[in-house]
Chains A and B, each alone.
Chain A
């Protein structure tokens, strides 16, 4: 029996996929002769690509300092969009046959256009005008129309029709992935969660860069076995991570493994965490409509979550509030990618909400590389402050 989650072969596999994602995609191409498409935002209906036997892989950065993007992207654009473009300009994504973006924030849009223009071998690129107003009742209808056009473009490119049964298969595989990933997060409600935020991040992000069917198999066996593993670390402060995409191993390692006080992430509310997979496709006949509704009514990215007439709220905040209660969260780390406007626009209100709930929070601004020493001091100070009453016992 394995004694630690880190020693489980499945966890090693997730990490290997995460770290060697480019090699995986290249081998997948060699093996299948299929096409690989990079997608820039989790609003891309991957199922349509998958139904066309295309491997969708999320375009990610490498967290290495770079200056290669400076002639094309302004400095005030976020490090993530610089980092992703840098990978393309450095030739790391030369195996991609296509690239696509579902309309999200302006920064990613900017990076996507430069990527599509400047990365060699890109045969197909598609800008999908996904609705921003996901809280309005007409968004599903509009998304359906745009998804249909997206599907037509994929068909035209590949020269093959995507049938209903192709879509059914893709939806089934993706829904299975969502179900399994949700189970992973459910595990973390436990008083003594078997996995950390680092493990969760590796599981979720690896699912974004490998064939879902293959990932599901490994994840199923992981879930079967992880229950048998005795947690080997002190949970400490139960943290929730809220914010921008965050797949920086160093940050997770610092907070969960590298501080004077024990702490564990029990939930990540970001697009490399729960926002990616929360909510299934309700496939009831009209496949494209079902897909559109899932993507529109999923937990929204802050770029799309705003008041609309009779609804004066943010769906994402409602979700966060529930998670804090259900996962018994002690404190929140708001980790926002530097210059990320959608998150910055929510942060004053988010802080107000957390204050009203009596939940301690700390705001960290993420860059390409992280100021580890400074972050350690700040997170430790927050945890110390939470236990201040103990000092006088």
Chain B
């Protein structure tokens, strides 16, 4: 008996937002608006205080989009390599740098626009070796765009204390003064407060949506989730994103109630860990069509932009439960400082992807608990040469999972460099893995 499947009703709403997002950034200067560029992890509520006409361009989603359009990506990568960038650097970043160096801007539908729209300023964070330096060099390529990077490397959330939060808050306070200077705009704390609240709501809503995928049949598969999760990385402090997630939550909840699944035949559930090979998303379709195998999520898709409780206070166990919003936590945001304090604390403590940089143990617990909570039969790990941060701990995690009875397959690739992926070999790995587990191909 097959499972009922339905296209997502809100799919087009998400698609429309993403299309407009890249166009809004492009056209911002026509209306005297502000545009800024930075990591998807940058504190995006902070520039929101400059006005209602502030448009960001976040680098990782842009790099992933570029990678999806392989021809553009190849040209971008080769352009920046000729300028001396090493091939083993972050794949997203090389696509971004290459795009700037070619002076070509990519829209979400693959259309190429010249010239590359220079931001008024770069505003980013720094947690891996790349982020701040990404925008430092981009700024040089752009002829000296003002750049500000916030150091957030204060350690894992369960060890967070006031001193660590204060370190980040002070940098954000400085950043606001700097933004006023760079843009000539007066900062509006009310807009900041609203943006901080929206950020928490967006991130927590996405967590709640992810939780719904613990159901069987899974109402979503990961390839679709890639189009949903990215909103937390484009402009999570935008009220429109909150509305989109509210709509999606209701729809996924209703799919669960009605038994609507992602696949007509769900015979195998697995999770993944890293950014996918964006130019080769057919890996997911191959698994679905040939084996009825659904990816119910990953620490990347769930952890990158969502807010989770994470490690318990003792640092022993990982808890995949949505983090509280300010309202749920009883925290009143009433001025600039309380807003900055909340956004710093919330991100440092609850953003899952800011936790596992600080020990193998955290990532082992995070991954193992995901396998359990989402009732996965296995994990398929992408040994991703395109991101040193997401590749952290992967082999130690693999070792831990195997020792704890979890089936693991690994394939090597690159999230954003189409030259570093062996399609045939990857399908062979998948076939061998499935065979070893006794999973029959669908007839």
Footprint of B on A, CB under 8 Å? Answer: 71-74, 76-77, 103, 105-107, 109-110, 113-114, 117, 127, 129, 131-133, 136-139, 141-142, 145, 302-303, 306-310, 312, 314, 339, 341-342, 344-349, 351-352, 363
Considering the complex, which residues of chain B in the window 49-92 have a beta carbon less than 8 Å from any beta carbon of chain A?
83-86, 88-90
Against A, the Cβ 8 Å flags (1 = close, 0 = not) of B158-170 are 0000011001001
Whether A138 pairs with B170 at a CB distance below 8 angstroms is yes
Whether B128 pairs with A106 at a CB distance below 8 angstroms is yes
> How far apart sit A71 and B399, CA to CA, in the bound complex (Å)?
8
- Known A-B contacts A105-B129, A109-B357; A345 and B89 likewise in contact (beta carbons under 8 Å): yes
Closest CB of chain B to A340's CB: distance in Å? 9
- Determine the chain B residues whose CB is within 8 A of the CB of A114 once the complex forms: 360, 396
- Known A-B contacts A136-B171, A142-B167, A345-B133; A110 and B393 likewise in contact (beta carbons under 8 Å): yes
Closest CB of chain B to A77's CB: distance in Å? 7
Whether B84 pairs with A348 at a CB distance below 8 angstroms is yes
Considering the complex, which residues of chain B in the window 373-393 have a beta carbon less than 8 Å from any beta carbon of chain A?
383, 385, 388-389, 391-393
Tally of contacts, chain A with chain B, CB under 8 A: 137
- Known A-B contacts A131-B167, A349-B140; A306 and B133 likewise in contact (beta carbons under 8 Å): yes
Whether B84 pairs with A309 at a CB distance below 8 angstroms is no
Closest CB of chain A to B119's CB: distance in Å? 14
Whether B388 pairs with A76 at a CB distance below 8 angstroms is yes
Whether B85 pairs with A348 at a CB distance below 8 angstroms is yes
Interface size class for chain B?
Answer: 35 or more
> How far apart sit A345 and B140, CA to CA, in the bound complex (Å)?
12
Which of B149-157, B223-231, B305-313, B317-325 lines the interface with chain A? B149-157
Closest CB of chain B to A4's CB: distance in Å? 40
Whether B153 pairs with A132 at a CB distance below 8 angstroms is yes
Whether B389 pairs with A106 at a CB distance below 8 angstroms is yes
> How far apart sit A344 and B385, CA to CA, in the bound complex (Å)?
15
Q: For residue A134, which residue of chain B has the nearest CB?
A: B151
Whether B388 pairs with A307 at a CB distance below 8 angstroms is no
Q: For residue A305, which residue of chain B has the nearest CB?
A: B133
Q: Which of A72, A303, A306, A312 has the most CB of B within 10 A?
A: A306
Pick the contact of A348: B83, B88, B385, B388 (CB < 8 A).
B83
- Determine the chain B residues whose CB is within 8 A of the CB of A302 once the complex forms: 133
Q: A74-B395, A76-B388 are in contact. List 14 more A-B contacts (CB 8 A).
A: A72-B399, A76-B88, A105-B129, A127-B358, A136-B174, A138-B174, A142-B164, A303-B129, A309-B178, A312-B144, A341-B88, A348-B83, A349-B137, A363-B84
Does B359 count as interface, using CB distance less than 8 angstroms?
yes
Does B148 count as interface, using CB distance less than 8 angstroms?
yes
Whether B395 pairs with A142 at a CB distance below 8 angstroms is no
Q: Which of A77, A303, A348 has the most CB of B within 10 A?
A: A348
Whether B129 pairs with A106 at a CB distance below 8 angstroms is yes
A-B residue pairs, 3 tightest by C-beta: A133-B151, A345-B133, A306-B132
Whether B153 pairs with A131 at a CB distance below 8 angstroms is yes
> How far apart sit A72 and B83, CA to CA, in the bound complex (Å)?
33
- Determine the chain A residues whose CB is within 8 A of the CB of B84 once the complex forms: 347-348, 351, 363
Does B28 count as interface, using CB distance less than 8 angstroms?
no
Does B213 count as interface, using CB distance less than 8 angstroms?
no
> How far apart sit A352 and B143, CA to CA, in the bound complex (Å)?
13
Whether B149 pairs with A133 at a CB distance below 8 angstroms is yes
> How far apart sit A215 and B129, CA to CA, in the bound complex (Å)?
34
Pick the contact of B148: A145, A309, A345 (CB < 8 A).
A309
Pick the contact of B129: A127, A309, A312, A341 (CB < 8 A).
A341
- Known A-B contacts A306-B126, A307-B132, A309-B146; A113 and B88 likewise in contact (beta carbons under 8 Å): no
Does B130 count as interface, using CB distance less than 8 angstroms?
yes
Whether B171 pairs with A133 at a CB distance below 8 angstroms is yes
Does B147 count as interface, using CB distance less than 8 angstroms?
yes
Whether B394 pairs with A345 at a CB distance below 8 angstroms is no
Whether B395 pairs with A71 at a CB distance below 8 angstroms is yes
Whether A306 pairs with B154 at a CB distance below 8 angstroms is no
> How far apart sit A11 and B358, CA to CA, in the bound complex (Å)?
40
Does B35 count as interface, using CB distance less than 8 angstroms?
no
> How far apart sit A141 and B360, CA to CA, in the bound complex (Å)?
28
Closest CB of chain B to A302's CB: distance in Å? 8
Pick the contact of A308: B130, B149, B360, B389 (CB < 8 A).
B149
Does B5 count as interface, using CB distance less than 8 angstroms?
no
